[in-house]
Amino acid sequence: MVKHGRDETQPERQRYGCKTCNRYFDDLTGTIFEGHHQPLDVWILCLYFMGLNLSNRQIAQELDLNVSDVQQMTHQLRQGVVARKPEVKLEEAVECDEVYVVAGHKGHPGAVKKRA
């Protein structure tokens, strides 16, 4: 790996070249932020606004971006977070105190009828 200049749109982002495969990549390659030419602070603000439960249209207005760009960013962030979510492993004794049972099935009353 060798340094290979800077990104044209974001000079703070270092670009690298792989000597083995002759491919180029930058600091965000392999992260949930890759593939979009927005600065990292815009990605972080987008994630923050998602946490506030703002719509894509509201986020686009706050960040002064196109709604389609924000749609792509929020989709990419959601997919990336889900993909990197660690698997839950239960160990030792697991207790379950309460159970919630659905009282009815809308549109399918026969599914909850008592049987003789």
Looking at the structure, tell me whether residues 38 and 80 fall in a common domain. yes
Looking at the structure, tell me whether residues 42 and 79 fall in a common domain. yes
Q: Mind listing the pLDDT tens digit for each residue in 13-67?
A: 777 778 788 777 777 777 787 777 788 889 999 999 999 999 999 999 999 999 9
Residue 26 pairs with which residues in a beta bridge? 15
Looking at the structure, tell me whether residues 44 and 72 fall in a common domain. yes
Burial class of 70 by CB neighbour count within 10 A (0 to 12, 13 to 18, 19+): buried
Q: Are 73 and 43 in contact (CB under 8 A)?
A: yes
Q: Calculate the average pLDDT of the chain.
A: 79
Looking at the structure, tell me whether residues 4 and 45 fall in a common domain. no
On the question of pLDDT at 75 being above 80, the answer is yes
Q: Please tell me the total count of domains within the chain.
A: 2
**Stated pTM of the model:** 0.56
Alpha helices in the chain, H assignment, sequence order: 40-51, 56-63, 67-83
Residue range of the domain that includes 18:
1-30
Looking at the structure, tell me whether residues 38 and 67 fall in a common domain. yes
On the question of pLDDT at 80 being above 80, the answer is yes
Domain assignment present for residue 22? The answer is: yes
Q: Which of 48, 50, 43 is nearest to 13 (CA)?
A: 43
Looking at the structure, tell me whether residues 40 and 19 fall in a common domain. no
